[in-house]
Amino acid sequence: MNIILLGPPGAGKGTQAKILVEDRGMVQLSTGDMLRAAKTSGTEMGNKVATVMDAGQLVTDEIVIGLIAEKLDDDAAGGFIFDGFPRTLAQADALGSLLNSKGASLDYVIEMQVDDEVLVSRITARSTCGSCGEGYNDLSKPIPANGACSKCGGTDFNRRADDNEDSLKTRLMAYYKDTSPLIGYYYAKGMLTSVDGLTEIAQVESSISKVLG
């Protein structure tokens, strides 16, 4: 089963993707994570996209489509979760063609609906363990009181360079301008289901589970 998690920055796509990976053995393909990894390791592509990402703008279709194309041959018996991809109509078309060429298809597109007002507070509150990548949020899932990651015991936590109010405004604008048309695109294809992304993490998880069966 291959699915897309669609929603603005801070909707909880990454959190839900990680749960699906653990529960269903699916493979998460997050173009944001891939781009951040390229940025951190200082590859030519990573250096090229760094400024664009920090400002909250979209990286070119060509780059992200290339990143996804490279991953589709990976072993994924449980299916792929596309997280943060596609973000433009051109990316959506490319994903359809890529899957088609592998004899695969998309099963569900899940739109995670949230109010814009909560996004700023959610995003400026989030951090990740520097050792294992476990996500935390000061509001919904704070770092344990002993200051150690509950998964690996690491004590270094990072905040994303683009998780600030200025970048978020640009990211939200990019979402409404370039990505939200995908809601209509997948609705017309009969693939779209919307879930309430404002409830507790476990409640959102159960709404998604109901869709996937």
Give catalytic residues, as residue numbers.
Answer: 13, 87, 126, 160, 171
Selected from 80, 84, 186, 205, the binder of ligand AMP by CB under 6 A is 84
Strand-pair category, 27-30 with 108-113:
unpaired
- Angle (CA) 131-87-159 rounded to 5° is 25
Residue 175 identity: Y
Which of 39, 87, 122, 126 forms a contact with ligand AMP (CB under 6 A)?
87
Looking at 122, 171, 172, 204, which residue binds ligand AMP (CB under 6 A)?
Answer: 171
Q: Does 9 bind ligand AMP (CB under 6 A)?
A: yes
Residue with smaller CB distance to ligand AMP, 41 or 146: 41
Phi and psi based region of residue 84 (left: phi greater than 0; alpha: psi -120 to 50; beta: remaining): left
Q: Which of 3, 26, 58, 204 binds ligand AMP (CB under 6 A)?
A: 58
Stretch that binds ligand AMP, among 56-64, 140-148, 195-203, 204-212 (CB under 6 A): 56-64
CB of 8 within 8 A of CB of 172?
A: yes
Report whether 80 contacts 109 (CB < 8 A): no
What is the distance of C-alpha 42 from the center of its chain?
22
Closest to 195 in 3D by CA, of 181, 210, 180: 210
Number of residues that bind ligand AMP (CB under 6 A): 17
Q: Decide: is 53 part of the binding site for ligand AMP (CB under 6 A).
A: yes
**Rounded Cα–Cα distance for residues 158 and 147 (Å):** 13
Q: Tell the smallest beta-carbon distance from residue 121 to ligand AMP (Å).
A: 16
- Of 37-45, 51-59, 102-110, 205-213, the segment contacting ligand AMP by CB under 6 A is 51-59
List the beta bridge partners of residue 82.
4, 29
**What residues from 93 to 132 belong to the interface with ligand AMP (CB under 6 A)?**
none
Q: How far apart are CA 125 and CA 118, in angstroms?
A: 11
Check residue 31 for interaction with ligand AMP (CB under 6 A): yes
| Interacting residues toward ligand AMP by CB under 6 A | 9, 31-32, 35, 52-53, 56-59, 64, 84-85, 87, 91, 162, 171
